[in-house]
Structure 1
Amino acid sequence: MTAATPPPHDGPPPHDGPLVVQPLKRRHCAECRCGPLPFLVMEEGAPRCLDCADLGHLVFLPRGVTALTRRARAESGLSAVVVRFHRRRGRYERQGVLVEEAALARAEERCLADAEARRRRRERDARRRAAEDVRFTAAFAAEIRRLFPGCPATRAEAVAAHASVRGSGRVGRSAAGRALSEAAVASAVRAAVRHVDTPYDRLLMEGVPRHEARRRVRAAVDATLREWRTANGA
């Protein structure tokens, strides 16, 4: 067989260390005659069952969880790669590994410990983000009150809460919004007035184009903003 010639469908490709094959055809062990074999090892061109190949004490770990596979192989004194021939692709593909059962148990414990650590970290991060969001929303509301002293406090808080929702893509989460720029804050207030204090939403529902709907309510929005810009507006 030349280097360019693919191995037989049920024969293992070149590989360092123990290699186990999931056969596509019904195969029996050439030594003990048991079968059909779910796994086999090719020795001197003949299939052997795992027991005859001294691998019968190993357990199969399917591919899929890289960290678990890596740790199980590191913990296991003896391990083997399991492959199966893919007819359409014309090559052997890895299906998992065989490892010692105790090694797998230890690897699972380590992965569970890591998962618990990740869970605790996610909870800490969530609490930190929540605290940051509360502080940012309060700062946004304070900036609204500074720019629009006549805006009722409850409205300022509502506008800030709406505009600063994390992941919403609203103006409060933009770079300008996070910097509390006057333009971003004013834009959030204008949008809130447009939606809450004018018939803008009803116009959209009636099929009025967005730009035309904005034109129709612009005077009412501007009037409210002028009123809120004075300290005695509320």
Structure 2
Amino acid sequence: MSRKKRVPLGDRVAIAAERALAARQFVSATDILIGIGWLDPGAVERWQRGQVACLEEVVQIDPPRIPEAMQLFQSWATATGLIASPTAYVDRTPQRRELRFSRSGDPGIEASYRTHWVSPQLSEAKRERLVEKASRGPELVVIQPLNMEWTCHRCGGTGNLLMMEPPGPACLHCVGLDDLEFLPAGDALLTRRVKANSTRYAVVVRFSRTRCRYERQGLLVEPRALADAR
């Protein structure tokens, strides 16, 4: 494609922002970076699992161009009349550590990345619910391995469930989830009730060789929440 036919970065940012806003009623920095093709969703997942030190390390563009896109995004959001909403970002581990966006770790840059821009058409109550949901962090994911011959990188043990960490698989005891009870998939109403009342839970998945993807098998939930729901 010739340089003359390239869509200006400002237009690409606006298109990505409008699509995200239409789909979710708010826009985030990651929505923009994914939407303009600079960030792969798979890389975001690795970042959420704590396998990447900061998000900027996996953005597929020259580092000096990232602030340019973020400035264009902020200018678009302000001109559109969106409402700035600071949002917490934590990783997909039981420790729920705060995620880092920038290489520098500068508080001002981190704050700009963490800011969601919310539609002014939403009521205050709906905006608060959006912020609360976004700040929960991604769901914890526990894997039901196909091959049972695996070893926990922390204690050397094994089991029928594991959680992946940057150094390798870890058993539920070492990650602090061994007190949770397994609730198989199948009863949608019971699952919703337990999930709403369990302060800690994790999604259990198993890889399907026929479909070449991970599929949900159920949840690990607090025994008290499961007993109450039943």
Structure of greater relative contact order (alpha carbons < 8 Å, 6+ residues apart): 2
TM-score, with structure 2 as normaliser: 0.40
Higher-Rg structure is 1
The structure where helix makes up a greater share of residues is: 1
TM-score, with structure 1 as normaliser: 0.40
